[in-house]
Amino acid sequence: MQDTQPKFKVGQRVLHKNNSNSAGTVTQCDPPSFIKFDYQVTWSNGVISRCDHADLLPHTEPAPTGGITPVVGYECTKCSSSAQVWVGEDGKMRCHRAGCNETAPALQDPKRDAGLKKSALQLIPTSHNRDLAAALRHGADKYGEWNWLGTGVKLSTYIGAIRRHLDAIMDGEWLDPESGASHAGHITASCAILIDCKERGILDTDVPGHNAAPSGSAIPRDKWEWFGNAGHLYVSNWCRYHLTTKIGNHLVSTVGEYYPPHATERDCPTKPTTIGCDRTYETMVFKVEGVCECGCGLPTISGSEIEADGYNDPKAATAGHRAMCERVASWPNA
């Protein structure tokens, strides 16, 4: 005859009949299925399993006092148990593992602890974000959204803009008369764009001291060598786009717009064929091995690529090639 009431209740302490040394707590009780009830049990070692009533025995250890609501995601700092943490009727968390009984603040949140190691974005004032957004909106209306990604930016341009807005603040003017946004918002917008371009490798550091090569760590642009031939890809003869730059002992090669040969004019595609994973342009960096024997002067490459990037429009490919060149030039002993 089928039971109409569960043998165990949520919060009840239980033992498994095959392992009487491991105590657990019933954290879920499902409706009867055929002739048994299905229970979810959280064991003292943190393991969660499903059992039927025939697998479980009542445990004589006293049930947690002051409430029986289990807490997920917290663990006790004293005994490192996560299976025995409960919230009592008084709202306090307690560890009910035998011999422990620690209470908050001894309990910790592992997710919060992990979050402390990441960027503290929650510390950025919302007023800063509003002023920054207003300045970026003005720039987007004037020059286009994310306009700097297609061409990169010159450091000198933004240093000049930052100084003009800073001088306006020093003269007692807080709001920019053209945009209505604060001068401080424009300064942070300029800084945000500079940081983004620096991270993407498309910042042109055209100010004194930046183009000179630090000892043993960079190669100046006037030492780069440019070639008209494609530097890699076995089907490069049918690629209409190619940029190739030798920087020290490395070759930066960008190819794209691959139109494979066809038997008839009718078969010729109207759009370039992809040359990689969903990309029509690609940049790759190789170690230089020697010089082409045909006399063109193009370096030969050794081994597989060291770095790579992909794009789907010529502007991004040009900017990406330039950014990769800047990155390679900054490598120690490039």
Ranking 52-61, 64-73, 93-102 by mean pLDDT, the lowest is 64-73
- The residue-averaged pLDDT of 248-269 equals 77
The most confident of the ranges 24-38, 47-61, 231-245 is 231-245
Ranking 13-27, 78-92, 133-147, 243-257 by mean pLDDT, the lowest is 78-92
Instruction: Enumerate helices (H) and strands (E) in the chain, giving the number of each.
Output: 6, 17
Of 66, 82, 112, the last residue of a domain is 112
Residue 310 lies in a domain: yes
pLDDT at residue 160 tops 50? yes
Residue 5 lies in a domain: no
pLDDT at residue 217 tops 70? no
Q: Are 155 and 207 in contact (CB under 8 A)?
A: yes
Q: Which domain holds residue 55?
A: 13-112
pLDDT at residue 186 tops 50? yes
Model pLDDT for residues 317-330, shown as the tens digit of each residue = 998 898 888 888 88
Residue 101 sits in the same domain as residue 130: no
pLDDT band at 305 (very low <50, low <70, confident <90, very high): confident
Instruction: Say which residues have a Cβ less than 8 Å from residue 275's Cβ, sequence separation at least 6.
Output: 233, 235, 239, 255, 256, 258, 281, 282
Residues β-bridged to residue 270: none
pLDDT value for 111: 66
Residue 209 lies in a domain: no
Percent of the chain with pLDDT over 90: 24
Residue 226 sits in the same domain as residue 317: yes
* Residue 144 DSSP SS3: coil
Residue 2 lies in a domain: no
Give the chain's mean pLDDT: 77
pLDDT band at 281 (very low <50, low <70, confident <90, very high): very high
pLDDT at residue 104 tops 70? no
Residue 325 sits in the same domain as residue 230: yes
Residue 266 lies in a domain: yes
Residue 136 lies in a domain: yes
Q: Are strands 75-76 and 85-87 parallel, antiparallel or unpaired?
A: unpaired
Residues β-bridged to residue 290: 300
Residue 229 sits in the same domain as residue 307: yes
Structural domains in the chain (count): 3
Q: Are 58 and 8 in contact (CB under 8 A)?
A: yes
Residue 90 lies in a domain: yes
- The residue-averaged pLDDT of 26-43 equals 68
Residue 53 sits in the same domain as residue 138: no
Residue 197 sits in the same domain as residue 234: no
Q: DSSP readout, 9-45? A: -TT-EEEETTEEEEEEEEEEEEEEETTEEEEEEEETT
Residues counted in the chain = 334
Residue 162 sits in the same domain as residue 67: no
pTM over 0.75: no
Of 77, 112, 147, the last residue of a domain is 112
Residue 235 sits in the same domain as residue 195: no
Residue 64 lies in a domain: yes
In whole angstroms, give the CA distance from residue 194 to residue 247.
Answer: 25
pLDDT value for 178: 93
Residue 268 sits in the same domain as residue 304: yes
Residue 181 sits in the same domain as residue 243: no
pLDDT value for 128: 92
Q: Which residue has the higher pLDDT, 67 or 309?
A: 309
pLDDT at residue 83 tops 60? no
